[in-house]
Structure 1
Amino acid sequence: MNKKQGIIIATLLVLIVCAGVLATKLNNPLYVNGDDSGSGKSSAVSFNNSSQKNNKTSSFFEETRLDRDQKNAQTLQTLKNFIDDKNVSKENRDEASKKYTDLAMNTNYESKIETTLKSKGYEDVICSIEDSKARVIVKGKDKLTDKDTREIKNVVVGIAKIQDVEIEVKQ
């Protein structure tokens, strides 16, 4: 098996794992309020019937998150293969190692920022960090207040130490 075949197999494995995780999350029942109101309907059914218009927004956040995670996993695998290749010069391996570390840290920061903002009451959040800029997309119906904007920026600065923060609201 040559290197190209190994990369293809590793990429396919990453995609299979991501598809499995997504399938598991989507196939689990949804519990919106955690109790059965005695109406004979499950929470998942009532959620499904009452919020069909939110499916477009929810799928945006899910698809964006899945796409970002797949791209990051593929890039990390490519960088890892580049780092492990003995035919590559030391300078190039060192540069790839730095990019690998930066991407791994940014992925960790994105996850922490999303979790922290969700715990502060935001319905759904996507965070993307590239170079020294963070982009945060928040699910909401209204424009963010100055307090909300400051809170989001403080979370990003506190976790990722990035001052340049772009915030967007998606309905």
Structure 2
Amino acid sequence: MMVFKRKQIVVLSLVLMIVIAGYLQYSYKKSSILVSEIADSDVPRLGEAVYVDNSALFDGEVAEKTEDSDKKDNKKDDKNKTVQASKQANEFFAQAKMDKDKTRGKNKDELENISKDPNASKELKSQANEKILALIDKSEKEMAIETLIKEKGYSDVVVFIADDGSLDIVVKAQTLSDIEATQIADIASRQANTEISNVYVRPTF
């Protein structure tokens, strides 16, 4: 009877050991699966190289560089337009002065021919001489006004005095304030001895 109980105890012990061994093996496998899941996950481990997605950062840098490039291009375009406008203004002033001198010179030559014509009447010669003096007076006043306006800081200016006594003044400037236009008109009215309301001022650039 005692022998049977001992055998039973031994058998139970073996069964218990088998059960424990099976449980431990199951636990180990379960633990291994968890480790593999971690290994396959996106969580970086110590010492492992980490991939960083720089696409958003790169796109931001590209956008910033593009914006800077656009600003530079716009500034360059504005500068080119300013240079082109200034060139056109220079051509305008040069052509305007040339045309004025050419017209004045032609008128003066015709008047001098009349004043020297032996067949012309004394009255006609007198009128021609008066007009010659008037042309000279206009030219001198225009030159004086242009000089005084340039002294105000304007790089170029052209003045036209019409036969009715009105003045047209064009100054090289992008814009003119009311104060600046009034100052220019005041100079012209004093030099030409006319009312300021007869003076017309405009900028060009």
Same fold (TM over 0.5): yes
Within the alignment, does 1:152 sit opposite 2:187 as a pair? Answer: no
Distance in 1 of aligned mates of 2:120 and 2:96: 34
**Runs ≥4 residues deviating over 6 A:** none
Checking the alignment, whether the CA contact within 8 Å between 1:125 and 1:136 is kept in structure 2 is yes
SS at match of 1:51: helix
Residue aligning to 1:140: 173
Residue aligning to 1:82: 114
1:98-141 alpha-carbon deviations (Å, 9 max, x no partner): 11111110011111111110111112111000121110011111
Distance in 2 of aligned mates of 1:157 and 1:52: 33
Residue aligning to 2:95: 63
Normalising by structure 1, report the TM-score: 0.67
- The within-5 A match list for 1:90-101 is 90-101=122-133
Distance in 1 of aligned mates of 2:84 and 2:140: 32
1:140-164 alpha-carbon deviations (Å, 9 max, x no partner): 112x222212211111122111221
Q: Which has the higher contact order (CA 8 A, sep 6+)?
A: 1
Give the Å deviation of 1:52: 4.1
Quote the RMSD (CA, aligned, Å).
1.4
Checking the alignment, whether the CA contact within 8 Å between 1:134 and 1:162 is kept in structure 2 is no
- The within-5 A match list for 1:97-136 is 97-131=129-163, 132-136=165-169
Percentage of identical aligned residues: 28
The residue type equivalent to 1:105 in the other structure is D
Distance in 2 of aligned mates of 1:111 and 1:70: 15
Consecutive unaligned residues in structure 2, runs of 5 or more: 1-81
Residue aligning to 1:6: none
Give the Å deviation of 1:54: 1.6
The residue type equivalent to 1:152 in the other structure is I
Normalising by structure 2, report the TM-score: 0.56
The residue type equivalent to 2:192 in the other structure is A
Q: Of Structure 1 and Structure 2, which has the larger fraction of its residues in helix?
A: 2
